[in-house]
Each structure stands twice: as structure tokens, then as C-alpha cells.
Structure 1
Amino acid sequence: MPFLCPSPPPGSWPRPPSCLTASQLALPPAGARICVAGLVLVRQRPGTAKGVIFITLEDETGTCNIVVWAKVYERYRRAVIAGRLLRVTGRIQREQEVMHVIAEQVEDISAMLDELARPDFDPDSPA
């Protein structure tokens, strides 16, 4: 059975730099420019993929698949290779029930993880 996602009214989902959670990826229409963030679970660079890198991010609601084409990798190489926590802006792509974000920008926000380790960290206080 094909995956059907009702199209939300334009402008009803967060626009970059606001991030969607993994559970919200079915909301925007295919091709929409979105932003996601999460911990890096997996980086794969298969030899047969012609320089494409696949990244799996995880947030509190699930996982998100990221596709990083060679030209984007060249520009954001350090973040793609070393980042533990990434924010990715790109276009959502759907094929039946499988969703990917085709990366346009990759930002290493791993420094935010250090904030969690601070003894005075209060998750309820404004940033």
C-alpha cells in the first residue's frame, strides 16, 4: 500500500532554521526545504555510492536518514566526518514509506552537548 501524506497548508510547518523532529517528517510535502537535528548514529560511505555519504541521525522521537552528495560533502567535510550532533538543512525526499533529507547544509552543533554536562544546566531555563 503506498504511503499517502496529506499536504499541510503552506507555511504550517517550521521553516529552517527551526528543526522538525523525526516524527514530523511526514508533515511537509515532498521537496520542501526543512531542517533536522540529531545525534549521529551511523555514517556510511559505500564504495559503490560514487562519493555519496549516508548519515542516520536520532532525536527524541526517532531516526532520520540524510543523503550527502559529494559536492555538499566537500563543503561541509569537517562537520560530516567529525560531528556528533548535527543540524542539517535540505530537501525532503519520499519514495513510498521511505523518507530522506537531501543535505544542502550540514552544521556541527556538538558543542551543545557540552552544555548538558554542566552541573548548573537547567533544561527549563531560556537559552
Structure 2
Amino acid sequence: MIRYEFMPSDFNPIFLILGDQADLARLAATLRVFARQPRTMSLADEMPEFRPQTPLTFAPPEEAFGLRRDGLNFIWYLNDWQALHVADRIEALAAPQAKSGSNIFEIGSDGEIPVKVSRGEFADDFLISKR
């Protein structure tokens, strides 16, 4: 099950996305759909198995690129080329021979929040709240 949450920090905040091979392959496929038809897409709607506390949306850029916070929501502003590039790097993490690893995605836009996508580096229940 894909999991994702914002990890606040005074110095190095990061948006963390965790998943296994199948999860990351689906995430990459979702980014490819977004690249072909840029429109606002909620990751929770595209991959509804996990309902995070902090929703993540992909959207075409308005003024700035990269992941931005909008109240309680997070919006990852990507153009088509950026989305394809991110999808390529996530697919490499999802390759069968890759047992673990991660990538940090930053577009280079001032004020953006880095996005870390990870496979096999955290326990399966990490980011799942115990209720």
C-alpha cells in the first residue's frame, strides 16, 4: 500500500512517499497520465487504498513549480516534461532488481518542498497511524 505524508521540520521539511514495487509502478503510471493530459489530479482518488492526513494533488504549474503547501493540502506543480522525468526515476525504483532505494525530487523553484520517494527503506507500517 502506498503511503505518504508531510514530514514537517524547521530546517528540512520533506514530503515522504513510501511504497513497494507495485505501488511505485502505479505512481509512475499516474504521473504519465498526468503528463499526457495535465489537469488537477488527487493522488488519493487515483490510488484510494490509503487515505493520508495530508492530501497530495498534481496540478499544472500556475506561477511556480514544485511541491507547495496550500493550507492543509499539498500541490505538486509539474509540467509534462517534469512529470515524465519524475515518472522515469520512480520506475527505476520500481524495477524488480531494485530491492530498496530512494530519490529526492526538487524542481529548483524557490520555496518548494522536496519530495522523497522511497522503496524498502522504512517498515511497512511507517506513516500508518495506529487507531
TM-score normalised over the length of structure 1: 0.29
The structure that is helix-richer by fraction is: 2
Structure showing greater Rg: 1
User: Higher strand share goes to which structure?
Assistant: 1
The TM-score normalised by the length of structure 2 is 0.28
Structure with the bigger RCO (C-alpha within 8 Å, sep 6+) is: 2
